A = this chain, B = another copy of it.
């Protein structure tokens, strides 16, 4: 049995979703909804068997449709997803899942109540690089985690409804949530809005943890150079993940802190072990195909997806707290 899919939104990301759901042997794309006729015309040309319309109710009332994929602007996610769940459909929602933590919580609960899958499309979690990272850390190869330091900056499109953290940080926050079991206890964030419209185009976010672990994100739409680097430090090894490297995305440094005691001088001395570097071969499969498989399996077989609503809700919780901190002079906001 195949899963029948309806997709809402055929803008920037929608075409990738239709292509991947069409290519999967677990799913069939039945309907695509968009408010623009010229976008639907493209669907008709490329996928003649797919029904198109601009009316969301066509989706809800089509009883042959099992699941709805939502690729619309963030502020519309909640209403569409809620209605879909009420109509007994599974939902896959673009990131960030909702505009508030309360909405995400409500979807989580509604999904549980209706016994339907609620999944978020944090595509990065399905890349070969992040799969490698997650396994490597889960296997204790880094040792005790100490820090997570991400720089995600470039000349980017200024969004009108959400700030740079809501735009760029979901990638890092979902990765962080995926690889690190400990939950943050608070955040601090600072930033500026060059347009003076209250929407930050450059922001810095720190996540604080009970254990002493720290995570930091540097996000900007106004950097002349594009940088996508993530450093993760453990006490045994450290990792550099550079997403712009075509083939050598991950470098594992066999480098760690070595603390030795020097009693005479009555103080702690620290030295580094500096060793070899290892660049693993990373699978180049398309990440979105993994999203489709994970979603289809969850709907058809009841498995729990990697990019589940709990994870998506945590991402939104942190974004919400970060925004509060920025507006409150960077002061700590508890989670």
A9 within 8 A of B: no
Contact with B along A231-273 (1 / 0, CB 8 A): 1010100111000001010010111010100000001111010
Which of B214, B274, B329 is close to A155, meaning CB atoms less than 8 Å apart? B274
Among A106-130, those with CB < 8 Å from B are: none
The smallest C-beta distance from A60 to any residue of chain B, in angstroms, reads: 29
B330 in contact with A257 (CB, 8 Å): no
A238 in contact with B255 (CB, 8 Å): no
Most buried by B among A160, A224, A235, A270: A224
Query: Which A residues fall within an 8 A CB radius of B?
Result: 146-147, 149, 151, 153, 155, 158, 160, 186, 188, 190-197, 202, 204, 206, 208, 212-214, 216, 218, 220, 222-226, 231, 233, 235, 238-240, 246, 248, 251, 253-255, 257, 259, 267-270, 272, 274-281, 329-332
B residues in contact with A251, CB < 8 Å: 224, 279
The smallest C-beta distance from A330 to any residue of chain B, in angstroms, reads: 4
B218 in contact with A192 (CB, 8 Å): no
A155 in contact with B255 (CB, 8 Å): yes
B residues in contact with A212, CB < 8 Å: 192-194, 196
B residues in contact with A269, CB < 8 Å: 158
B206 in contact with A330 (CB, 8 Å): yes
Which of B192, B268, B274, B281 is close to A146, meaning CB atoms less than 8 Å apart? B192
Contact A281 to B270, CB < 8 A, known contacts A147-B202, A155-B255, A233-B224: no
The smallest C-beta distance from A255 to any residue of chain B, in angstroms, reads: 5
B residues in contact with A224, CB < 8 Å: 231, 233, 238-240, 251, 253, 255
A270 in contact with B218 (CB, 8 Å): no
Q: How far is the CA of A214 from the CA of B203 in the complex (A)?
A: 10
The smallest C-beta distance from A321 to any residue of chain B, in angstroms, reads: 13
Closest 9 CB pairs of A and B: A277-B279, A224-B253, A188-B330, A158-B270, A224-B238, A329-B332, A190-B206, A331-B331, A192-B214
B residues in contact with A222, CB < 8 Å: 146-147, 233, 238, 257
A259 in contact with B192 (CB, 8 Å): no
Residue of B nearest to A208 (CB): B190
Residue of B nearest to A188 (CB): B330
B residues in contact with A248, CB < 8 Å: 277
B residues in contact with A192, CB < 8 Å: 146-147, 212-214
B225 in contact with A231 (CB, 8 Å): yes
B residues in contact with A153, CB < 8 Å: 149, 231
B residues in contact with A197, CB < 8 Å: 268
Q: How far is the CA of A330 from the CA of B281 in the complex (A)?
A: 38
Q: How far is the CA of A278 from the CA of B193 in the complex (A)?
A: 27
B225 in contact with A240 (CB, 8 Å): yes
Residue of B nearest to A206 (CB): B190
